Amino acid sequence: MAVRWLCSLFGKPFDGGKRMDHGGPQQQQPHPHPHPMEAQQQPYHPQHPAMMRLYEVQKEVASLGPQVCTFSGLQHDRDYKRLERELTRLQLEVDQVDTEGKPELQGARKRAAQEVEGLLRYLEENASHPSRVAIEELSNEARRLVDEKVVAPQRAGGVAEINDELVDALQELVLKLTQVKTEGRVPLRKARYRALTRLCAVQDVIEGRTQQQTLSLPLSGDTHEAVHRINQVMVKVSVARSQLVALLMGLSGRDSCAHLSRILTEMQVELDALDVSGNAAVRNYRKQVVEEINGLLKHLDLEGEGDDTRRYDLAQNNSIREIEAVRAHVSHLREGVLRHCLMGDLTFRPKAELQSLLMHLDQVDTAKNPCIREARRRAVVEVQAVITFLDLREALARRYPGPTEHPSHRAVWMVLGSLSDLQAQVLGFDGKRADKSYMMLEELLTKQLLMLDAVDPQGDETTKMARKQAVKFAQNILSYLDMKTDEWEY
């Protein structure tokens, strides 16, 4: 049946409704023989009413398949209830087909029932999957935060509480969303991507507002007769900004993207009609307000965001391919560095090559896609880990302590020597958090931090600075080890 490859096309093959493959997209292998139901069309009851009704059910299932396979909502969503209702209806219709006790008709009915049951199960599994619940919980946390700090104060006639604390809190939620596991499921990838794009758009709007607060605007009405009208528009823009944030976070009530788009467009028309010729300051003021309106308008096309699989299925994304190519190159260089260090050879120092890879990563176009940005960040961390390892090895090789060296300073360097050896093991580690080697490395790194904490600088400023840098170095190694084992996926 067509539905057997529908979900394969959208990333999830069916197995007769009995078992769902939770892996990534797979290519359906061609059947060496015709499908059993198709085989019935020739010698067995081609015009039998039961068989014809099953064919009709097959067509309806085939039309519902793509909708089920890309549905990314929850069980209380209207589309979920519609799909569940339609599939349940088909299930009942299949059950009511009279097979007259004929084996070929019974087999066809059983296969049709399995296809419908498989779609129902797939729909329910994704809508109630722990990762889908986690995405919704993070989205709700973001909604509460934005409502409390931005939307509610604006609606009450006050001023939105936009500060660095709010920006940092939103960024933390973005990072948590990027770390939600999707197991390669299209609906989960789609849900995660839609949540991320909206939250990142809110970040852009809020951070844009943070920048505006630092400007010496609005201008005085005495400057030009048009300034008063521009000031009025700027007040409307401030209100529209809050409305946009509410829309993006699902806090808008009766507002809609189309309505807000009309309001912003009317503001642009009003500004365009102003005569500001002859006054550069007023002209620049108007230009800035127009640019801010354009910045809000660009976020109003998110209503259908996430429907395009190229956006959230990044396996074929060119930027991801660039990042993966850099990671492969880094892996090759890292193996070479570790191999030479094991032999005591410090002549292999590909720092220039590693620095060029950092520059390459900096030029990768992320298209403001949070998953691509996180993939690039991780690649940068991998490059920096090798560079810092080489830097410490070189520093240890050049170190010639004098007789007057402070004992506490010497103790810090001893810890740094141990950290260098541990970092070599971390760089070469390729396992999971449940592995004994992971737990051993984590414990040894924690012990080095405790040893640094026990170092008493005794007022020596050089030792204080060295210990501070060593603590940061140890923490970075721990973070890198965690990153290597957190099974993140884009």
Q: pLDDT tens across 194-203, in order? A: 888 888 888 8
What pTM, to 2 d.p., does this model score? 0.60
Nearby residues of 280 by Cβ (< 8 Å), 6 or more positions away:
none
User: Can you tell me the distance from the alpha carbon of 486 to that of 100, in angstroms, rounded to the nearest whole number?
Assistant: 56
pLDDT tens for 468-481 read 999 999 999 999 99
Fold of 318-485: Methane Monooxygenase Hydroxylase; Chain G, domain 1 (1.20.58)
Cβ atoms 251, 143 nearer than 8 A: yes
Q: What is the C-alpha to C-alpha distance for residues 154 and 157, in angstroms, rounded to an integer?
A: 5
CA distance from start to end of the chain = 32
Instruction: Indicate the residue type of 434.
Output: A
Q: What is the pLDDT of residues 312-326, one digit of tens each?
A: 666 667 888 999 999
> Could you give the angle at the alpha carbon of 135 between the alpha carbons of 134 and 139, nearest 5°?
115
- Using the predicted structure, report yes or no on whether residue 33 has a pLDDT greater than 50: no
Residue 299 has a pLDDT of 78
Give, in order, the Cα–Cα distances in Å from 375 to each of 314, 364, 444, 475, 483.
11, 11, 28, 21, 11
Mean pLDDT (the chain) is 81
pLDDT tens digit sequence for 91-149: 999 999 888 888 888 898 999 999 999 999 999 999 999 999 999 999 999 999 988 88
Q: Is the pLDDT of residue 465 over 80?
A: yes
Q: Among 35-39, 45-49, 194-198, 225-229, name the most confident range.
A: 194-198
| Cα distance between residue 472 and residue 332, in whole Å | 27
Q: Is residue 15 within a helix (H) or strand (E), and if so which, with residue range? A: strand 14-15
d(CA 155, CA 19): 50
Q: Choose the weakest-confidence range: 92-96, 137-141, 355-359, 364-368.
A: 364-368
Q: Which CATH number fits domain 2-128: 1.10.3720.10, 3.30.70.100, 1.20.58.120, 3.40.190.10?
A: 1.20.58.120
